[in-house]
Structure 1
């Protein structure tokens, strides 16, 4: 519920607004109604409203001056002015002064309701962003390594580099590679030895593959509970040989397979800026889905996007709106979001634009589909092909209908499957991990034990704990190791095995990466 103040020299207007509109229905609470703008200004700081609705023409002070002084007192407050038709020029000036919106008198109920809903969303979005930025400032001081991982994962999942949260992370982490050419590699651990520890295997891949690509450019490794990525940037496009790089990646994958660790591999095209990371991820997904990575250069599927003009607006927000609507089973919002995505004029588009966007949406839908048990497959593998899309759906209208149909089917699937409360499920998972953290457990093991899907548990870790399964288990092992180092006389290799690492050398590396200090120095100084 947000606080609202009304300012109008006509009592009938103040009374009318309060009688006609039930503000609670729009999540607003009227905390003040003033017929004198001077008295309103005297009370603004104490009342601290989120929204101020004011008339523009008042005898004591006009609305423009009132809005200017109100903004000086409460810079974050949203202001909406009410204007007569003859005051339209005043209204335009007010918007330039920082007023959020204006309504013309006589006030139409539909317009007023629309304004209230819009202001509510604007205030809520601003508050959420401020909260995220505040949490970010605190988090930077706690775990720099985890934040680097979070930056890349958030950008991979949502794709909008201009998002204030992403921008703040980029700045706080001291990154300086926004416009540096890059290539992305994605690994999926498909099969491993029963005795192998999943967390340790992930750490080994990071260490080994970083060594393989050393000298080709700078690299950042980041991971979720399901995937492992390598972001290689600072490469020289004129001299970098992508085919030779593919051979390095595939050679590493074959080498791991000989050691009974099977990896699915995806490699992107070369992109000019980190703003294209979302599309690079789609390249990797397409590469993996083709299941013929040694011969198929599947990254070409989005080649049109790579070669497009860099200033073309890509519909990041609208694409995300589709998945928000799917999660809430909002069929109207699904249709609206799809229409917004495909409303650019043909003259503004380059070849395969619509099909590239459709492919990205369908790939994300395929990932979402895998999180639920469906009687029939909604997104099949054969549809994830740009040539098939253009052949079977030759018009924009048909593409829109396809995306709307698949979105609605997914929304029904998500809505139909009831699950236990998230917090209760999470507690069950943490209880199991607490008892078995030093064993060779994986995300799948925990999910099987508490009877949910691996993908759903992965989402719970992100939503409930704001971390990944791998980071949670690793942190638990590190904390236990700290205790054993300071409270027992156990040898360090014994501690390594006690907390779940059979390879002492890798345990030493992980401990130093998480704590910034070696095992021996930690014991010595604590």
Structure 2
């Protein structure tokens, strides 16, 4: 997989010249993306996480050194090459302080730049090979995850360790846990579209190693393999850290895609106050992970942010086929739900040896469905009607009739869950839009500010906001600010810098840049053209 690169310069001619100068493909790089100032480059980097950034120093709104500083803070492993038309010692010293790969002077020569990118590619290749080296990973496994520790964690999630034995066994295995609350997360590596020459097992191991490097120390996390995934147990210290954990996991998913070519999705459970309750948090994390069919892969999904609110209780049904029905009511098509119900009846109804056993089976099935409805805050009266009458009728049903009744009830619950989820998403988006419409003039209105106001992670906010509005938050806010700016331009005689402030831009030059990008002309020319047309 080729490495990615971004060219940053406010002069289009320079970008085009550099693009033509190098045979990017032969050097192992894809054709670079471009940005025309530091602010634009930062925004693009959040989406694409480039391996290398080649940036000029002198640019409007944010210069190259400030950009390099910000990028290194956000992505410590990023490679930065700084170039300039000024042979100044201070520039070169600052570039070296920021750990730039090199400081080069304009004009940029093709041979020099090709050699530089060849060296960078060799370093990137070495890093990737180290991560994917089978023998190193095996040694790493044996050293960092002894079998006794892994067995302890698995037993903890399986609920097989008595509560009074928990701390003693943890001490025996030299494990210490930080302050409550605790939370479990499941890291899933997709097996589709594997990089050439890399097996699914090796890629998952590479993802785990990267997760331990990027998330382990930051969140006092423990990692172990379980049921084909990597489980991460985190001591949050305080409940409010759950949102920051979700955002960090979401950023990790993008990093894994950029560095390893892996499609990683992280499901995050609810916070719990005791180690013995981590089993419930893990169940919630697995449930959150299954929602990737709705919210998409390559991101973090927190069960606490999904509407309607998930309840763990119904996941603990002893019948695997009943669990399958619960999952399909939340996510699958109606036909797949009906097939799961048919399997459940085939597995269980005919196996009852007597009329009395069959009646117990019917009562148990109805009870499980009733509990699922209550746990998901659905109207039991609308679904089942009068309880006494329902149970009397059910006792008289033959297996085929019971299947039809169960199919109708489950389809009704599925529709109610979908409507409730859609209503919740619309309500959430409406709150966000109302807040933006009221505070668009605030220059500090960012995704982080919105997430703090709504108390959700950036991953959940961005997914739901775009799905409900058809735009990213930045696109929506920019369009709204430009709409308000046009109204002020045409209805007042205020200066451009005053209008810029009133719509949320502290820098009038950047406001003019965004305005021209949106409308193809400067604010003053736009006003003149509209007045001339009247």
TM-score of the alignment, normalized to the shorter chain, above 0.5: no
* TM-score normalised over the length of structure 2: 0.25
TM-score (norm 1): 0.25
